[in-house]
Structure 1
Amino acid sequence: MVTVSPQKSDASPSWTYALQLPHDPLAPRVARVTLRAVLNGHGMAGIADTAELLASELVTNAYRHSAGPAMLRLRALGSGRLRVSVWDADPRIPPPFDRRHGALHPVPAEADGGRGLFLVCHYADAWGGYPLGDDLFGRSGKLLWCEVGPQWAAAPESVSA
């Protein structure tokens, strides 16, 4: 079941949305549509293109490399900044999010994949990942996150293939 739940704290002007995604090939599209609606609703449409690209890549990675559901979390950080986080059940942190591989290396042109997280690292202001221990329901996995701010407004149009 896909749900969207806004969580707003009275102590902070920020907001958080959590979207549960089943293991379904439509999950990245649902995440993109939801993200765009949230950002438009909160007056952050200027970063929607970049944030949509980043969220789509993280959710696609979760779908391709995990056998279970995923969760997308969107959180306003203030000053027009957004944190995008994606949880999935696979505890392995992929490079370059594992930070063990040093600098980012371009993916060879003949490679079938491997460009998604490279794009996230290139366009995000900050990014990271960490494994999660078992929660109350016996679930574990990882959380990959990235942050984007207003300086990236319309940046994905300049991506060259």
Structure 2
Amino acid sequence: MPTVTPPWSYTLQLPHDPRAPGVARVTLRAVLAAHSLAELTPTAELLAAELLANAHLHTTGDYGLRLRSVDAGGLRVGVWDNDPRVPPGFAATDGVSLVVPPDDDAEHGRGLHLVRACAERWGAAELRAGKVLWAECR
């Protein structure tokens, strides 16, 4: 008899502390192992690391990681924070993404480009107090 895996989600609230992204990545690895999705770990960890770093560097309050199963053995990695501004690269105007590649010698600005390159789907949602950036991998 075939079994069906029910949908699941985990939410981890993180303080604005430089150790928080590391704690979140350890949690991500444990969740994926528990759900027999360890093959997603490299991509999911990259997605989470970039989104978490963005939240830590560009906001002052707490932020959080949300992991959610999506159809066909996939994973949605979401990071929410209290800043309502959606960064360029996740914002869209008339369905056209506003992506400006960083200069070759730039020290910052590649994180969301990596997310977009590695994710199957990605997006942003406005919240009452902030936003969530998300990316999916399979």
Decide: shared fold, TM above 0.5: yes
Using the TM superposition, give the Cα deviation of residue 102 of structure 1 relative to its aligned residue in structure 2, in angstroms.
3.0
Give 1:108's aligned residue: 103
Mapping of residues 44-83 of structure 1, within 5 Å: 44-83=37-76
Mapping of residues 86-101 of structure 1, within 5 Å: 86-100=79-93
The alignment status of 1:84 with 2:77, answered yes or no, reads: yes
Select the residue among 93, 102, 127 that pairs with 2:122.
127
Where in structure 1 are there 5+ consecutive unaligned residues? Answer: 1-11, 134-139, 150-161
The 3-state SS of whatever aligns with 2:97 is: coil
The amino acid across from 2:52 in the alignment is V
Q: After superposition, what is the alpha-carbon deviation per residue over 1:105-160, rounded to whole angstroms, capped at 9, x for unaligned?
A: 43222112011111001100000112212xxxxxx1111011101xxxxxxxxxxx
Where in structure 2 are there 5+ consecutive unaligned residues? Answer: none
Give structure 1 regions of 4+ aligned residues with deviation exceeding 4 angstroms: none
- Bigger Cα displacement from structure 2, 63-72 vs 95-104: 95-104
Give 1:7's aligned residue: none
Q: After superposition, what is the alpha-carbon deviation per residue over 1:25-82, rounded to whole angstroms, capped at 9, x for unaligned?
A: 1111111111011001110000110000000110110000000000100001131100
The alignment status of 1:144 with 2:137, answered yes or no, reads: no
Give 1:136's aligned residue: none
Aligned length in residues: 133
Q: Return the TM-score normalized by structure 1.
A: 0.78
- Percent sequence identity is 53
Using the TM superposition, give the Cα deviation of residue 103 of structure 1 relative to its aligned residue in structure 2, in angstroms.
6.3
